[in-house]
Amino acid sequence: MMEFFTELERVLQLQTPKEKIEQFKIFYELYLEDKLSYNHEQSSKVFTLPSFDNYCNTVDAKTMPKRTALSTTQGKAYMVHAIAHIEYSAIDLALDHAYRFKNMPKAFYDDWLEVADDEIRHFLMLEPLLVEHGYKYGDFGVHSFLFDISMKSLDLVTRMATVPRYLEASGLDSNPKMIEKLGNINDDFARDIIKALKVILEEEVDHVKKGDYWFKWACERENINPDEYFNIVEKILPGAKKTKPYVNIKDRQKAGFSCAEIKVISDEPCD
């Protein structure tokens, strides 16, 4: 019988999207059918390189080239590639949550494998848009920022605070601004990107909400005050308390953020 954590470790390290997605689907079907064994004594690896390192050209996030004008096909393709890379990275993030933390309630594994499945679907919405316009995933440079942060967040409280509840929540803010910019461009490519972004935004609210639940669950278990959220994140991401130019207050509230938390990073009124 296939063992849950051993197989997740293998899937996490697969280097091509096609192979990773195919193998995850086989694993996930077995999980849903309760046909896996569980060794909670397995020791989790701290990975030194992201799974995409040999597939993509990984560069320092600070040296990433600026996006070109969205009025051009290349500019829109660069944007789609950047979003697709975030979604692809998010597959591994969700899988790593399920892989790294042992002896958790079954609902924890249910949640993060469901998120991984969602992130795969998001990636598969975006990748064909690249192909349709003469590009493919891997054609532009990518960064390993999300992976790097995840490997610095190796306890449950820090991981849930930093990855789903901070990094993914930031996507709730950036997504509407991308939709707004693309809305000024009257072509089919822009409209197709907007359709994908709207699906991603709606479903990412649920992902952040899952992170919110498990962050607070872990805080209660460890006797940590969840109001320490930003202080926890600041240890991994200095500057997390800085005011953001735009905060998607409505969707953050849906995902579990309190007005007190939102006011830390936003000057806008929150009811």
pTM listed for this prediction: 0.96
Quick check: 14 and 50 in contact, CB under 8 A?
no
User: Is 46 a domain residue?
Assistant: no
Q: Please give the pLDDT value at position 64.
A: 74
Q: Please give the pLDDT value at position 71.
A: 87
DSSP string, 174-218: HHHHHHHHHTT--SHHHHHHHHHHHHHHHHHHHHHHHHHHHHHHH
Q: Which domain holds residue 109?
A: 51-265
Q: Please give the pLDDT value at position 87.
A: 98
The ranges of the chain with pLDDT < 70 are: none
User: Is 244 a domain residue?
Assistant: yes
User: Is 8 a domain residue?
Assistant: no
User: Is 230 a domain residue?
Assistant: yes
Max Cα distance, the chain (Å): 55
Q: Please give the pLDDT value at position 17.
A: 96
Cβ atoms within 10 Å of 269's Cβ, excluding its own: 9
User: Is 140 a domain residue?
Assistant: yes
Burial of 151 (0-12, 13-18, 19+ CB in 10 A): middle
Residue 117: CATH number of its domain: 1.20.1260.10
What distance in Å separates the CA atoms of residue 91 and residue 185, rounded to the nearest whole number? 30
Cβ atoms within 10 Å of 183's Cβ, excluding its own: 11
For residue 58, give the 3-state DSSP assignment.
strand
Q: Return the amino acid letter for 271.
A: D
Q: Please give the pLDDT value at position 224.
A: 98
User: Is 187 a domain residue?
Assistant: yes
Q: Please give the pLDDT value at position 48.
A: 96
Tokens of 154: 């190796």
The tens digit of pLDDT for each residue in 12-71 reads 999 999 999 999 999 999 999 999 999 999 999 999 999 999 999 888 777 777 777 888
Q: What is the number of structural domains in the chain?
A: 1
Q: Please give the pLDDT value at position 60.
A: 79
User: Is 40 a domain residue?
Assistant: no
Q: Please give the pLDDT value at position 200.
A: 97
User: Is 236 a domain residue?
Assistant: yes
